[in-house]
Amino acid sequence: MKWNADLYDDKHSFVSQFGENVLELLAVKPGESILDIGCGTGDLTKQIQDKGADVTGTDYSPEMIAQARFKYPTVNFEVTDAANFTVEYPYDAVFSNAALHWVHNAGGVIKSVYEALKPGGRFVAEMGGKGNIGKLRSAIKQVLVKHGYTMQAETQIWYFPSLGEYTSLLELHGFRVTFAVHFDRKTPLQDGDKGVAKWIKMFGAQYFTGIPETEQPKLLQEITDILEPHYNENGQWYADYKRLRFTAVKE
């Protein structure tokens, strides 16, 4: 998937804004070494540095990393596969916000993170959890099937685990889970009734692979119409986010 880093910063800055709460859970101490995986365009990575940590931000997207390096030239950023990476020196903490649900190989992520941490090091993250954007995914599938795009309707873009599923994986790989919560967080969409289409174009474009460009606006409008009773609250549209947040310690 090729990311539009400018659009991400312009219309989807809520990703890093909500992540500021996860930073509080990370509780950065000056002088700590911290790895931020799935850092996007680097906003939270820079905040970690500003708290006095020696931080490295990584992302699978070269476009995101290029934007991050442009915005924050004093921060170290690298293109890395979150499901298969090694580090030269172990870290005090590994942090991730709104990224792990893009990686289907959860075991690879957790194994790599475990090996990247010092003994007693912590893994602090938030990701999409079970049921995340359930209404949106259902509406997309309904419209695609209606128009004969059954293959596209079965596209599996994300991995949204339950709390039990993900914490069990953490424990299986040697972590002790000290905190975990699965919660609803309705998330505002920008640009009113255009927000659904813009969200899909940013994060769910794979659903429209092979569908003619000329047909896509009609499909996006039908999806928006289905979601309006659920998403439109007096003109402000919200997506049905469900998040999984946790802290796990390497024993």
Task: Give the tens place of pLDDT for each residue, 84-123.
Answer: 999 999 999 999 999 999 999 999 999 999 999 999 999 9
Question: Which residue, 63, 120, 133, 131, is CA-closest to 93?
Answer: 120
Q: What is the pLDDT of residue 3?
A: 41
Q: What is the pLDDT of residue 12?
A: 43
Angle of CA points 216, 217, 221, to nearest 5°: 115
Q: What is the pLDDT of residue 7?
A: 52
Buried b (16+ CB within 10 A) or exposed e, 52-87: ebebbbbbbbebbbebbbebbeebebeebebbebeb
Q: Where are the beta strands (DSSP E) in 160-235?
A: 175-189, 232-233
Question: Residue 214 has what DSSP assignment?
Answer: T
CB 177 within 8 Å of CB 184: no
Helices 216-231 and 134-146: angle between axes, nearest 10 degrees: 140
* Distance in angstroms (rounded) separating the CA atoms of residues 229 and 72: 41
Token pair listed for 8: 């991400």
Domain 5-250 of CATH type 3.40.50.280 = no
Token pair listed for 225: 């119409």
pLDDT in tens, 221-250: 999 999 999 999 999 999 999 999 999 999
Q: How much is the pTM? A: 0.91
Within 10 Å of residue 171's Cβ, how many Cβ atoms? 13
Q: What is the pLDDT of residue 8?
A: 47
Question: Which residue, 143, 220, 237, 138, is CA-closest to 186?
Answer: 237
Distance of CA 28 to the CA centre of its chain: 21
Can you give the residue ranges of every domain in the chain?
5-250
Q: What is the pLDDT of residue 224?
A: 98
Question: Which residue, 168, 153, 152, 156, is CA-closest to 110?
Answer: 168
Q: Sign of the C-alpha dihedral, residues 131, 136, 141, 146?
A: positive
Low-confidence ranges of the chain (pLDDT < 70): 1-20
Q: What is the pLDDT of residue 190?
A: 87
Token pair listed for 69: 């390096």
